[in-house]
Amino acid sequence: MTETQQQYYEGVGRRKEATARARLYPQGSGRVLVNDKPIDQYFGREVDLITVHAPLKLTGADARFNVSVKVTGGGITGQAEAARMAIARALLEVDPEYRLMLKTAGYLSRDAREKERKKPGLKRARKGPTYTKR
């Protein structure tokens, strides 16, 4: 039976402009795919790999599930943090007992910080033009 026909647990996570949809397939071997690529091929930095694996390691479920994550938008680190949240939310569907563990680690909290818009007369959101006396 392929992964598309199996029963799975799903979660959605967001961070900045990135959105991730994670699916956890039971009776897995711990394989993690991000946009149909192995995780180490998609995320080059070690920090991002650790970020995505964090909720699985915390709950001890890293070898029990195959994980498939679809991410869109944002940058690499934002995508990694969105994937972490999506996996954490999917783990809640598996076992609601994980909630306290995941919540205290901060994996269920949406980091809502967004880029502030540029204001007229300024170079960026808050940086003003350089003052010149002459």
Interval 32-85: pLDDT, tens: 999 999 999 999 999 999 999 999 999 998 889 999 999 999 999 999 999 999
* Number of domains, the chain: 1
Is 94 contained in some domain?
A: yes
Is 122 contained in some domain?
A: no
Q: What Cα–Cα distance (Å) separates residue 32 from each residue in 70, 88, 111, 114, 120? A: 11, 14, 23, 28, 45
Is 119 contained in some domain?
A: no
Is 121 contained in some domain?
A: no
Is 126 contained in some domain?
A: no
Is 1 contained in some domain?
A: no
Is 16 contained in some domain?
A: yes
- CATH number assigned to the domain comprising residue 62: 3.30.230.10
Domain with 99 in it: 9-105
- In this structure, are residues 20 and 69 in contact, taking their beta carbons and an 8 Å threshold? yes
